[in-house]
């Protein structure tokens, strides 16, 4: 990327086992000025996070064999990724799911049914807080 404004845009890693959710989130985030990387499972999420050091990771709770809570714990246990803010996403909106996300090391929990513009506003706010 040769454009400095593009290079300076925050890099977000979106992790979701549902390709439609990944693609929708990528399209929306890119339209609002973010650079986006995608991962479909725990293994690829950890590898991409280590290699690219995104500014923030958006992590789905329910993902096949390894759930997002475990991935978040793994990210926080790894010295190379422990400082990357993680936002957990889920269709579940229970207090228990929210508490479980925070216990795993996430800085926020967002319900997937929330308007995407509110998701972007939350991301911008969280990135401002983490700098």
Is it the case that residue 5 has pLDDT exceeding 70?
A: no
Which tokens is 124 given? 């911008």
Helices in the chain by DSSP H: which ranges? 4-8, 19-31, 42-52, 68-77, 95-104, 116-130
Is it the case that residue 78 has pLDDT exceeding 80?
A: yes
Is it the case that residue 4 has pLDDT exceeding 80?
A: no
Average pLDDT, rounded, for the chain:
88
For domain 4-130, the CATH architecture is: 3-Layer(aba) Sandwich (3.40)
Q: How large is the average pLDDT for residues 51-64?
A: 93
Q: Where are the domains of the chain?
A: 4-130
Is it the case that residue 122 has pLDDT exceeding 90?
A: no
């Amino acid at each position: 990327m040769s454009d400095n404004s593009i290079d300076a845009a925050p890099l977000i890693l979106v992790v979701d086992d549902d390709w439609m959710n990944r693609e929708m989130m990528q399209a929306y985030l890119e339209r609002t000025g973010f650079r986006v990387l995608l991962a479909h499972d725990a293994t690829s999420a950890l590898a991409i996070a280590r290699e690219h050091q995104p500014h923030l990771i958006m992590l789905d709770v329910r993902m096949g064999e390894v759930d997002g809570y475990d991935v978040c714990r793994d990210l926080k246990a790894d010295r190379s990724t422990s400082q990357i803010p993680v936002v957990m996403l889920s269709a579940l909106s229970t207090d228990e799911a929210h508490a479980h996300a925070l216990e795993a090391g996430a800085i926020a929990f967002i319900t997937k049914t929330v308007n995407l513009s509110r998701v972007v506003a939350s991301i911008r706010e969280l990135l401002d807080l983490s700098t």
